Amino acid sequence: MRILIFVIAALFLLICAYSIYESANSKKIAEKNVLAWYEPSVKQLQAKVEKLCTALATHQSPEHVQQAFRESRLAYKKIEVLAEYFNPYTVQLINGRGDDTVSNKNGQAFQTLEHLIYPTIQTVDTQTAYIESRKLATAVNSLGQLEFRPMPTDAQLFDAMKLELVRIMSLGLSGFDSPEACYSLKEAAAALEGVRSVWHLYSDRVNIYNPDLVKYKEELLTAAGRQLDHVQPNNFDRQAFITEYINHLSVNFKLSREALSIPYDNEPYILDPAASNVFARNAVHPLYYSPDALQDSAGSNDPLYNINGQQFRASYIYTLLQQNSALNAVAERKR
């Protein structure tokens, strides 16, 4: 009997030791492998943008130019989860508010290009569009300059994933950053796939502690991506999608992070990384709450979300994301 108890205890200790070792080893792998995913993804984006530049330089048909533009945006959306978090100032040259160009302001490269090539590019605008595409290429190339960047931490990567869910809600579901191409739901699906790629660096670790949580998250990601890929924009219920998928995924990321005992940094925030979702009570720091939360800036591309008693415009959430990125960048320089 004593031998049996000893064997059982030894097996238990062995399993615990292996779990601890596996968790610690996986932590190092996750932080390293995220760049192994990000770098080739940036190169793919660079190739797509060069294809767009070539289409404009060689005066290809408007259809070919628009296809190259859509492919470039999809490639960008797949890396947006990390690009926005770690390169917020560079991203400001790449992507931004769709209404900047409508107001004849100096919009970001994607928005200026979209305004020039939709609904169809005019011959007189081809040279201007090519110049903007080269600006886009220059900005995109700088995303790949990672030599002197420290390895991202687990906390940063979980923050980035949750913030990208908010970005999908404010930009992708509404078309706020791409009002003329009418391709935003596909772009939201691509952004969600980027989140999934980062999450898969952690899924095995979380599975050790809570396999049901991992299973549920995979079901959510699959169902959300399928709906974004196949739904018709005119039949798409944004609020239902946020309630059913975005908010549940956000809660799941919070639980996954806590299952791995990844701490929350004591840094200033605008969007609380410990909040279950952006509509949770006090998720937005009180100092940054503004009446602009309800102000319409872009018509049908700036929907009012009313969830859990909280009301926010897509444009207001986008502004909060920009301010939050600036704070993250300042905190990163202090590390």
Query: 170-193, pLDDT tens digit by residue?
Result: 999 998 899 999 999 999 999 999
CA distance 185 to 73: 12
292: its two tokens: 């602009």
Q: Is the pLDDT of residue 131 over 80?
A: yes
Collapsed DSSP state (helix, strand, coil) of residue 23: helix
What string of H, E and C letters represents the secondary structure of 136-168? HHHHHHHHCCCCCCCCCCHHHHHHHHHHHHHHH
| The pLDDT of residue 332 | 62
Phi, psi of 189 (to 5 degrees): -65, -40
| The pLDDT of residue 164 | 97
Which positions ≥6 away from 276 have C-beta within 8 Å?
Answer: 247, 250, 251, 254, 283
CA distance 231 to 227: 6
Tell me the whole-structure pTM to 2 decimals.
0.88
Length of the chain: 335
Residue 145 φ/ψ region, left for φ over 0, alpha for ψ in the -120 to 50 degree band, beta for the rest: beta
CA distance 11 to 173: 50
| The pLDDT of residue 268 | 79
| The pLDDT of residue 21 | 47
Percentage of the chain beyond pLDDT 90 is 61
Q: Is the pLDDT of residue 222 over 70?
A: yes
Which positions ≥6 away from 138 have C-beta within 8 Å?
Answer: none
Higher pLDDT, 274 or 26: 274
Higher pLDDT, 215 or 327: 215
Q: What is the mean predicted confidence (pLDDT) over 244-251? A: 97
CA torsion angle 197 199 201 202 (round to 10): -170
Sorted by where each begins, the domain ranges of the chain are: 37-148, 150-335
The highest-confidence range among 52-56, 88-92, 268-272, by mean pLDDT, is: 52-56
156: its two tokens: 């940063």
CA distance 156 to 267: 12
Q: What is the mean predicted confidence (pLDDT) over 251-271? A: 92
- The interaxial angle of helices 247-259 and 154-167, nearest 10 deg, is 170
CA distance 304 to 46: 35
Residue owning tokens 């919009």: 107
The highest-confidence range among 14-23, 31-40, 158-167, 297-306, by mean pLDDT, is: 158-167
DSSP code per residue over 78-130: HHHHHHHHH-HHHHTTT---THHHHTT----HHHHHHHHHSS---GGGHHHHH
| The pLDDT of residue 12 | 54
